[in-house]
Structure 1
Amino acid sequence: MDKFQINTISDNVELVSRRLKTSRRAQKLELADAAKATNINILYLDALENGHFEKLPQGLYGKNFLKEYAEYLGVEAAELIDLAAPEIAEYRPKNSKLFSERITHPSNFLSLPKLIKGLFAVAAISVCVIYLGGEFGGIISPPRLEIINPAANLFTGRTSVDIEGYTEPEAEVTINDLPVLTGPDGHFIQKVNLKSGLNTISVTAQKKYSRKNNVVKKILVNNETSLTAPKTVF
């Protein structure tokens, strides 16, 4: 049975080789011309035409050479590949066994006990989670916001007050929901008009993806109070 199979493969190889060589000669082409046109080494073309498939690269490369050469000659490539595929796939380089062993041989790391490998994996994941958590926390944490004027809640007779403070340079500041310009160092100052009675001043700082930092100041205005004598209350 094995002998019959070998003869069948040899017959297929002979058929493929004969069709390639016959087609080339019928077109009055030299092997060197075909090699130049297909950019395939002339030794491989000679192997294809003479049935020496063991000289071809194994597997896909050998099949591609056969396909390209057949298409160049105008021969049905799919049929020839079907006939030759078992023979091309059967040949292996002499050092293929050694190469395979080197590839599949477990490395020192892979030969470690599963418990140790598991500990390495857990440690690596933990480090990544901690790092990403710190980065994420830095992004969403609210920016610093310090109000230096007024330093505390006030009782005054004035009709306006300067709200002054500092935040982080990349933060945006609003006072009572109105945007305020900040300097390169995060400094800002904005005059706010006051009305008689209790005024609530809400100062908010926020970076692009962060939470808000909010400071509220309460200013009580009495128009009968001297304009030059603001007092701290509460």
Structure 2
Amino acid sequence: MKQSDILTAMITVGEVLKKQRKELGKTVEQVALDTKIQPRFITYIESNDFEKFDSPIYAQGFIKIYAKYLELNEDRILALYRRSVPNDNQKNSLNRETQIVKHRNISISPKLIAIAFSILFLLGILGYIGFQIYQFQNPPTITIQSPENGQTVSEKEISVTGSVDSNSVLFVNDQPIEISPEGNFNYSIKLNPGVNIITVLAKKNNSTQESVETIKVTYDVPDTEEVKENEEPIEKQVNTVRLETVNSSVWVQFNVDQVNKLSQIVQSGEVYEYEVENQFSLTTGISTSTKLYFNDEEIPITQGGSSIGSITCEIVNNNQINCE
């Protein structure tokens, strides 16, 4: 359906966006992954429940991103939104006129002073509550002191150290980690040869707000064994599996030899390569934006009824694979 037809047929901006999303075969969860808009905000927009946004500016920003993602005319969608909400300028004008009329009848008295102090006290309480709500809604801050992103180490085991807001719950590679009363943490992790992805996630208690930091650490295995004189080294095929993302960001879960290497949103253009001995598996939110290679040969990714794709491969005869 053309954009003009949709805008004519619909009444509210939420109905226009919801109708277009369904015609494109997109789910709320898929839109959230692609646009980085939380699912609850998408639901608020489609339900025309704009009062749940902290500010009309936030609502307009999300609507603009959503309309662009659905390939709708952003200006026309925003115009439809403005027509569907009250005119704040008219409200402010009426309020100012009312205040002027009331001001003419006000005289300073002890009772008025007491009322003023009561109002100031109430405003102070409301301000404190508002600040606490603001703190509650803000995602926690994560500071990773070591290791550094992109660092190469020769030790099999390293310590992940840093700090986070003290009222947070912390996970390192999906494992819950204890933090000190000051918010400091120290967690030892064993590395696999090659590139290792370490994901640090923090959530505030009783809140959906979360922060994620991802660092890459390369474990360079030291060569501690020398080939004995006059002894031929046994050659063994080294197999590699490579993951690439193109066109758009995509959520992936990638396991190599039953070890989870990735479980996150990967930005377009990023490349991850690992050595593999026995088997590997991949689940991707957008199969057309994900490329998988075994020893530099591309492997087709099986796609289900939606854009989600998955594949599991086992290595046979040292360098052959059997995928399903």
Higher helix share: 1
- After TM superposition, the score normalised by the length of structure 1 is 0.40
Q: Which has the higher contact order (CA 8 A, sep 6+)?
A: 1
Length-normalised TM-score, structure 2: 0.30
Q: Which has the larger radius of gyration?
A: 1
Larger strand share, 1 or 2: 2
